[in-house]
Amino acid sequence: MVRVRFAPSPTGYLHIGSARTFIFNWLYARHNSGTMILRIDDTDVERNTQQSLDSIFDGLKWLELGWDEFYRQSERLDLHRAATLSILDKGLAYRDFTPAHADAEDKDRTGSTWLFNPGAREVSKEESDRRAAAGEPFVIRYLVPRDQDRVVSFNDAVYGEQTKSCADIEDFALLRSNGGPTYHMASCADDADLRITHIIRGQDHLTNTFKHVLIFEALDVTPPVFAHLPLLIAPDGAKLSKRKHGPVVSVTTYRDGGFLSHAYVNFLCLLGWSPKDDREQMTRQELTDVFTFGGINRSNAVVNFTEEDPFDPKAVWLNSSLIRTLPLDDLSRELMPFAQAAGFDATPEKLRAVTPLIQERIKTLKDIGEVADFFFIDELKPYDPAELVPQKGDSAMALSVLKRAREVLADCVFDHDGLESSLRAAAGPLNVKAGQMFQPVRVAVCGRKNAPPLFETLQVLGRDTCLRRIDRAIQMLS
RNA sequence: GGCGCUAUCGUCUAACGGUUAGGACAGAGCCCUCUCAAGGCUUAAAUAGGGGUUCGAUUCCCCUUAGCGCUACCA
């Protein structure tokens, strides 16, 4: 039975790299009919914030993936402590009474790594127990074997066979002097207790894994399968960080920017993983069906954004093409919050009528604010009267076209076919081409040259609004 | 500094020793067309460098270079 977990620590918003880790865990769980666990790794009391926890839930909720079990490490501290003590009892760890940061100064990393504090490993069990009982502060460290040629190894499902000499592993801490477990200890104790079968996480943990293998062994537990994921990086090659790269690293930025979560999940899946065929646009079911560790890459993936445009063009493309395939009722519903945010007085009926006209013209849901404004506002924003002049025409032509169009629209059948045939028929006598006939009307009614197809647009706007706007345009030209 | 991981078009990626090195996004051009889109077609664009192994290396090995990660009583 497959059991996987996503274990964020609430010390920041939900990072897009974390979101991808969640998604891959979820996909693996679903693919194998396993269990998806959400565990909040909140052992660092100093840095945890409620705001961050809220933002993580916010982001995960938007992804609409869900989980089967939920835990918080802060509620399981007794378990972590007991596990640490069992390791101490087995003689595989020791108390280090060296004050914290005592070695902060010898940063001259000219030689090799720091391995342990001098003398700390040699304190006898009796003395150690006595000093601890006397209330002297200490940290519990793993007693990394120091015999020659000792190595730790594991087989990563993505990166393959990994081996590291114990000579390169320091005596890492398990329990802090305040009694709280370190990340390594808490994480492994919980993974063991929760019977996690596969640990899928960022490659930044690859070298930590040797420590984890040591802990699992000390706990008499077979280590789970490890699958490390390549990291997501910025175009400048640096790790994505809020300070340096701004809001692009937060999933809520994509949500608020008008992405469909399904498109966004699709995009994230394509970063560091491939179905190995040429498919790119995939449904959640397709992703679940085809997801395996074999498709995961080993090199870091760049999220392609710029200062001006925070969204990766591929994500935008995935989003716009998904928007185009959405049933109109669904799309209309998705659009509503963005129409409201744009300040539009949008009834569901009106929005539903507008939706087909903008469906293939918006790349994000938020674009409705730019693309569909003239459907919802009363008075058009001021525009340059020169816009009313058709190709190869002049303002006199614009004026005569608009005057005639006004007459035509006043009493033609006000639907697509009626409007088209009437306006086309009106072009001939005026000695203008159909395009020259349509353009002034379009601008008069929409306030700009680029707009959805004319006849549908006129129909949705209604006769009154159209006539009123044409009258205004005629005034502007007179 | 030490240890580890990685290296194919601008970006995401395919090719698990033999291909004219494929696809997608973004770019350019053309077509379609009432504008804008959408759609169709075309085009430009890559195996980091150097050594091996092999009849043959994008692919296997070594070195160099570069990037990233870890090196906390953070996670």
Least Cα distance to A203 among A173, A171, A231, A180 occurs for A231
* A208 in contact with nucleic chain B (CB within 7 A): yes
User: What is the percent of chain A with per-residue pLDDT over 70, rounded to a whole number?
Assistant: 97
* A204 in contact with nucleic chain B (CB within 7 A): yes
Q: Which nucleotides of B are covered by protein (CB under 7 A)?
A: 1-8, 10-15, 22-26, 34-39, 67-75
Q: How far is CA A85 from CA A48, A52, A58, A93, in A?
A: 26, 31, 37, 9
Give the rounded distance of the alpha carbon of A291 from its chain centre: 19
Task: List phi, psi (to 5°) of A301.
Answer: -115, 135
Q: What confidence score (pLDDT) does residue A105 get? A: 45
- DSSP codes, A330-367: HHHHHHHHHHHHTT----HHHHHHHHHHHGGG-SSGGG
Please give the Cα distance from A217 to A74 (Å, whole number): 24
* A433 in contact with nucleic chain B (CB within 7 A): no
Across residues A113-121, what is the average pLDDT? 90
**Token pair 């280090």: residue:** A96
Q: Establish how many alpha carbons lie within 13 A of residue A382's alpha carbon, considering only the half-sphere containing its beta carbon.
A: 0
Helix (H, G, I), strand (E, B) or coil at A141: strand
Query: Per-residue confidence at A111, pLDDT binned at 50, 70, 90?
Result: low
Helical ranges in A114-260 per DSSP H: 125-133, 183-193, 209-218, 242-245, 251-256
Task: Tell me the nt nearest to A318, Cα to C1'.
Answer: B25
Query: Per-residue confidence at A108, pLDDT binned at 50, 70, 90?
Result: low
The radius of gyration of chain A from alpha carbons, rounded to an integer in Å, stands at 32
ipTM of the complex: 0.96
Catalytic residue among A242, A244, A276, A392, which?
A: A242
Across residues A239-253, what is the average pLDDT? 84
Q: How distant is C1' of B32 from CA of A439, in Å? A: 19
Query: Per-residue confidence at A122, pLDDT binned at 50, 70, 90?
Result: very high
Cβ count near A328 (within 10 Å): 12
Helical ranges in A134-182 per DSSP H: none
Q: How far is CA A289 from CA A198, A240, A275, A286, A403, in A?
A: 18, 30, 10, 5, 61
A244 noted as active-site residue: no
Residue A306 has pLDDT above 90, yes or no: no
Kindly tell me the burial class for residue A118, based on how many C-beta atoms sit within 10 Å of its own C-beta (0-12, 13-18, 19 or more).
exposed
**Tens of pLDDT, residues A313-361:** 999 999 999 999 999 999 999 999 999 999 999 999 999 999 999 999 9
